[in-house]
Amino acid sequence: MDILLNADLTVLANFTNPNKKVKVDFNYVVLDLYYGSTFIASQYVEPFSAPRTESKLLDIHLVTSQVRLPVAEIQRLKKEINNNAVVFKIKGVFRARSNLGSILRYSYRLYGTCMVMLNGPPTGVIRGKRCKTKR
């Protein structure tokens, strides 16, 4: 039996710069959405800056249509819907740059991963999340 997955997920992402001396420029941000090991959507975010000791909140909209799932993931999805707890994974790649004066610039990549648990369709309200960010 084939199931085609349709998903429409909006994420309010919080980018926080705890540094008291420099702003951080994010010049590359991509978020990918997975169900299990199946890639289902991707979203590029326009470059932005996070001022010193401030946060930047961004709405990121991930939409997918008619993605074919493997049989094992179809069975898992049915079980999760019956239990009213569907789990998605969001992976992010961020390229950031801090300017330390006019001469020294420090660039680095950050990798974020979030496991997000939602109520079953059609409401899909968030029930829990677990996120990690590393270099």
How do 55-68 and 38-45 pair as beta strands?
Answer: unpaired
Residue with tokens 């010193």: 52
Alpha-carbon distance of 35 to 3, in angstroms, equals 13
pLDDT above 50 (res 1) = no
Q: Is the pTM of this model over 0.75?
A: yes
Range of the domain at 100: 4-134
- pLDDT tens sequence across 89-133: 999 999 999 877 777 888 999 999 999 999 988 888 999 999 999
The pLDDT assigned to 3 comes to 77
What is residue 99's predicted lDDT score, i.e. its pLDDT?
78
Is a pLDDT exceeding 70 seen at residue 2? no
CATH (domain of 60):
2.60.40
> Which residues are CB-contacts of 78 (< 8 A; sequence separation ≥ 6)?
none
Give backbone dihedrals phi and psi of 85, rounded to 5 degrees, phi first.
Answer: -155, 90
Each residue's pLDDT tens digit, 55-95: 999 999 999 999 999 999 999 999 999 999 999 999 999 99
Phi, psi for 80 (deg, rounded to 5): -65, -40
What is the per-residue pLDDT across 12-47, written as a single tens digit (0 to 9) for each? 999 989 989 888 999 999 999 999 999 999 999 999
Total domains, the chain: 1
Tens digits of residue pLDDT in 44-54: 999 999 999 99
Which amino acid appears at position 17 of this protein?
N
